[in-house]
Amino acid sequence: MTEAEPNAMLADPVDDALQRAEGTFRSVRMIDGAATSATEGAVRWKPVKSIWIGSMTLATLILGPLFFTWGAFALFIGTTAVTICLGHSLGMHRRLIHRSFDCPAWVERMLVYCGTLVGLAGPFGMIRQHDIRDWAQRKPACHPYLSHGSSFLRDGFWQLHCDLVLRHPPVLQVERHVAEDRFYRFLERTFMAQQLPWAVAFFAIGGMPWLVWGVAARVTFSVTGHWLVGWFAHNRGRRTYAVAGAGVQGYNVPWCGLVTMGEAYHNNHHAFPASARLSLRSGETDPGWWVLLLLRRLGLAWNIRTPETLPFRDALVPLRDDGGVRSKAGAGVPGTAVRP
Ligand SMILES: [Zn+2]
Ligand SMILES: [Zn+2]
């Protein structure tokens, strides 16, 4: 390495911060201005989002029972599991958003493509949705839209059919190599249309049952389930850690650990946002982590971050001594007491 490092001209502070696992301490893509506020804003009906999930839900409720077959149901289970596990959890959340492990670019693109098929948003939409919450929930207070702090039914309507327009939002700065990725830009522009090739293929193979259960029912279940788990994960469940100074805390929701591929261990995630492993204790089901271990064995994933290898986080307060990863004294498990 020489002083005239050619990449110095291409310095990307967001990318550097992600590589240093600074997501442990802050939301690295969100840039605050003097007036930035997480509390002031208005919830507005968002037509495209509302019509998208509304039509998928209606199609599922009306056509699902009419065209039910066990084969179509198996397709629904299989495609939902693959898109949520490989796509949403590993591709979008653990890799693209948190950079909690490294992998070849083609693997990342394949996983993010699967994540787009979930039907929530394209890659940039997912980064925006996730990071605005991550940013807001670390503040002492934020709008109830961002904390899932409203009543169950109102929160459902808000999250599935509306958007929050903050009066003074932070600036979202996406790392350059992701922001300029032509494949991700293509997925972003066409995220709803990405269902079409699969819809045509499923219809050709299995007729209406495969079309309804392989596309409409899967998207409805995934998008509605994402909201439902989000509501529980910020309102009800178990907590092992508190994050000092954060107005919103996460909860572990063990009853849906398996179906969410480990994402429901949200108290763990608030405590260790940059960890690729979402389970901390034995008995916590984390299928996304199991698949990641398989990818590692195949040589397709490395630099896998876990609570044991992340920088020490002062703000973390263990709520009870139940074998949590870090002790009250902050000494933690071997190798964690590295202050930034
Ligand atoms: Zn959260
Ligand atoms: Zn996250």
Q: Ligand 1 mean position to 138 CA, how many Å?
A: 9
**Amino acid letter, residue 101:** F
- Could you tell me the two tokens for 245? 């100074």
4 Cα: distance to centroid of ligand 2 (angstroms) = 36
**Residue 98 CA: which ligand is closest?**
2
Residue 323 belongs to some domain of the structure: no
Answer yes or no: is 104 within a domain: yes
CA–centroid distance, 140 to ligand 1, in Å, is 14
Task: Please report where in the chains the tokens 């990641």 appear, as a residue.
Answer: 292
Query: What's residue 339's pLDDT?
Result: 33
Res 331: pLDDT:
32
Long-range contacts of residues 289-295, Cβ cutoff 8 Å, at least 24 apart: 289/262, 291/85, 291/86, 291/90, 292/90, 292/94, 292/101, 295/103, 295/107
Per-residue confidence (pLDDT) for residue 7, from 0 to 100:
55
Phi, psi for residue 308 in degrees, rounded to 5:
-70, -25
CA of 78 to the centre of ligand 1 (A): 27
Q: Report if residue 98 sits inside a domain.
A: yes
What is the mean pLDDT, run by run of 10 residues, along the chain of 340 residues? 54 94 94 95 97 98 98 98 98 98 98 98 97 97 96 97 97 97 98 98 98 98 97 94 94 94 96 96 95 98 96 89 39 33
- Which pTM value belongs to this model? 0.90
- Residue 142 belongs to domain spanning: 41-164+176-318
- Locate 83 and state its tokens: 């898109």
Nearest to 87 by CA among 119, 112, 121: 112
Residue 225's pLDDT is: 97
pLDDT of residue 334: 31
Going from the Cα of 232 to the center of ligand 1, the distance in angstroms, rounded, reads: 10
Going by their DSSP bridges, the two strands 41-45 and 162-166 should be labelled as: antiparallel
Domain count, the chain: 1
Residue 5: the pLDDT is 54
* Distance (Å) from CA 44 to ligand 2 centroid: 24
Cα of 310 from ligand 1 centre, angstroms: 19
> 296: alpha, beta or left, given left = phi > 0 and alpha = psi -120 to 50?
alpha
